[in-house]
Amino acid sequence: MTYSRVYLIRVYLIRVCLITVAGIYQSIAVSQEAMWERIPNYERTFLCPENEVYSPANVDQVQQIVRNAIQHQKKIMTGTRKFNSQIDAACAGSGQVQIITEHLNKVLEINHSDLTVKAEAGLRLYELNEILRREGLSINMISEGGFFSIGGMLGSDTHGSTMTQPASLSDYVIAMTIVDGFGNIRKITGEALKATRVNLGVLGVVVDATFKVEPLKKVSATIHNGTNDDIIEAITNLPFNNYSVSLAWFPGIKKWTATVYNFVPIDTPGDAVNSQAHLPNWMFKAFRELISVAQAPAIPFATCSFAKIRHSLRAKSYFSENGNIVENPVGYSDQMQYFTCNDSKTCPWEILPIVVGGFSIPIKQLPQWIKDVESIIDENSRPMRRVCLPLNGIYFRFSKSSENFIALNQGHNSVFIDLEYVVNTNGADDNGKKITATKSPKFYAVYQEIEQLSLQKYNARPHWGKNFANAFYNLGKRQYPHWDQFINYKNKVDPHNVFTNPWWDRIKTKGANVRAFTECALDGSCICQKDHHCPDNLSCLPGKWYQKSRVCRSAKTEASEPITITDSQIPYYTKVIKNIIGSEQP
């Protein structure tokens, strides 16, 4: 990695300062060199403030860094490089101490008789499972991304989908090691784990964790498809009668498609992997071109066309063996559920930046929620201008309840609901190329209306590792009955609030310290109250169906935007995608 001259000069100056300061304070020797850096998120749409970054390699080094920071009255936050949480959850505040877990990446112990594994917090889920697989063991159905770190997954309560066993990594934890707000090493077991398994990084640095594991398992995947007419039946049956179900609902085109996993004997032939992100780079570039056209107002290449193409890609097998799609895939359970990025390590969102939103509600409320969302879609649609949510539609995953204080599924069987959309202008520039369209994503007002419906009417719990800032306002006991117990535990292990950052400060103060500034609704910093909070000369108005919401939309009637694609035209438009990228075709 290279660093700019400015950084190097700053590092030099900081060192000079530290030497001077050492004469005043009796400084603790920190074995790690600090770099002054701005750590980016997974797709470079968000940068942490510039701060002192350390990459410790063991618990002693973590302890030294924490004690040194305490001595110098710095705040600390821990995360990964290219963190996958959406905004600043994993970032230290400006000029504070950022701990990166990249060198805490070892499996420490595997116990075959107890079926447990102890691993360091920076290890990625797919790395852990690769090691476990060689030992005939696995952890399954807890995430759709294999690239998350153990610490990040416990920090933000990463989940997968299954009703037959726990669906979040946090629920497999039986012990943890944390360096706390005194700089002490704390071994946590038993009841205290309810506070620490899901921890947001605000209790200390998680150095390692011990998990229950399972014998290695194989699964088959089948794709089930349906329409709005049978979606309620699907969500009330499929998750309860199968090992794992992930359902993508495309309400604009009134269709759903579900990936359903079930066990097969371990000696069943098959080594398939989830290759939903293995599309070649040219195709992602083509999608980007297509969506930038679809996003522009009044262009007859509508968002619903894109939704149809996305639906058609999900509605058949997206599993591969040796690079070839297989129709009846069978493979190891972990590899069938989560995806990794292309061999080139380019992830789709580095070419086509996305916004990842998500929250959970009790499963029993899902049928009513679906009806409400259908009403929102209908109310916002007009003849020849149907609202479509193209990327993954609305994505449902399912889980049993958890006892962890601030788990997304605490206290009730839950459905995790994801809303993803494409960022227009504010993304990675991919060698200087920028998408130019309106600033706010198309149908942004509809996303906002659905999100506010969920948070306000359903008391939804926003995913700790997803969402914009406004989703976290007013969080507390209303959503989490054990909120105070979590705060009490934080006060016990970190009474001087060493582990904090602006993201946590906003949650604690219920967003009170967030200013509503011009165009603040664009990046989700606020829910608009006045017109100038909206981008693109839009007005701040009640949602069209959920009138309690406040969304940015045009006060005028929008131009008509015909849908020009039919099912039989999908192969044609797939060819169009290829033509868009011309010589880059494989």
Ligand X SMILES: Cc1cc2nc3c(=O)[nH]c(=O)nc-3n(C[C@H](O)[C@H](O)[C@H](O)COP(=O)(O)OP(=O)(O)OC[C@H]3O[C@@H](n4cnc5c(N)ncnc54)[C@H](O)[C@@H]3O)c2cc1C
- Give the binding site for ligand X (CB under 6 A): 42, 77-80, 83-85, 89-90, 101, 121, 143-145, 148-149, 151-153, 155-156, 158-159, 200-201, 205-206, 349, 356, 465-466
Q: Mapped to the 3 state alphabet, what secondary structure does 155-169 carry?
A: HHCCECCECCCCCEH
Residue with tokens 């039989």: 568
What does the alpha-carbon distance between residue 427 and residue 425 come to, in Å, rounded to a whole number? 6
Which one-letter DSSP state was computed for residue 453? I
What does the alpha-carbon distance between residue 452 and residue 217 come to, in Å, rounded to a whole number? 40
Contacts of 177 (CB under 8 A, 6+ apart): 59, 185, 186, 187, 188, 206, 207, 208, 209
What does the alpha-carbon distance between residue 373 and residue 458 come to, in Å, rounded to a whole number? 12
What does the alpha-carbon distance between residue 39 and residue 92 come to, in Å, rounded to a whole number? 10
CB of 522 to ligand X, least distance (A): 20
Nearer to ligand X, 144 or 180 (CB): 144
CB of 225 to ligand X, least distance (A): 22
Nearer to ligand X, 201 or 511 (CB): 201
Nearer to ligand X, 202 or 294 (CB): 202
Residue with tokens 């705040």: 75
What does the alpha-carbon distance between residue 525 and residue 513 come to, in Å, rounded to a whole number? 11
CB of 281 to ligand X, least distance (A): 16
CB of 85 to ligand X, least distance (A): 3
Residue 415 parent element (H or E): strand 414-422
Nearer to ligand X, 139 or 563 (CB): 139
Nearer to ligand X, 59 or 264 (CB): 59
- Could you give the dihedral angle defined by the CA atoms of residues 397, 400, 403 and 405, in that order, rounded to the nearest 10 degrees? 20
What does the alpha-carbon distance between residue 264 and residue 132 come to, in Å, rounded to a whole number? 19
Q: In what order do the strands lie in the sheet with 354-362?
A: 330-332, 218-227, 255-264, 244-250, 394-399, 414-422, 354-362, 461-462
CB of 119 to ligand X, least distance (A): 11
CB of 175 to ligand X, least distance (A): 15
CB of 148 to ligand X, least distance (A): 4
CB of 556 to ligand X, least distance (A): 35
CB of 121 to ligand X, least distance (A): 4
CB of 177 to ligand X, least distance (A): 10
User: Pairing state of beta strands 185-188 and 244-250?
Assistant: unpaired
- The helix/strand/coil state of 250 is strand
* 581, two tokens: 């990228």
Nearer to ligand X, 350 or 519 (CB): 350
Nearer to ligand X, 524 or 543 (CB): 524
- What single-letter amino acid sits at 270? G
CB of 286 to ligand X, least distance (A): 19
Nearer to ligand X, 285 or 385 (CB): 285
Nearer to ligand X, 108 or 580 (CB): 108
Which one-letter DSSP state was computed for residue 454? I
Nearer to ligand X, 275 or 380 (CB): 275
Nearer to ligand X, 202 or 528 (CB): 202
154 in Cβ contact with 79 (< 8 Å):
no
Q: What is the DSSP string of 50-86?
A: SEEEE---SHHHHHHHHHHHHHTT--EEEE-TTB-SS
212 in Cβ contact with 115 (< 8 Å):
yes
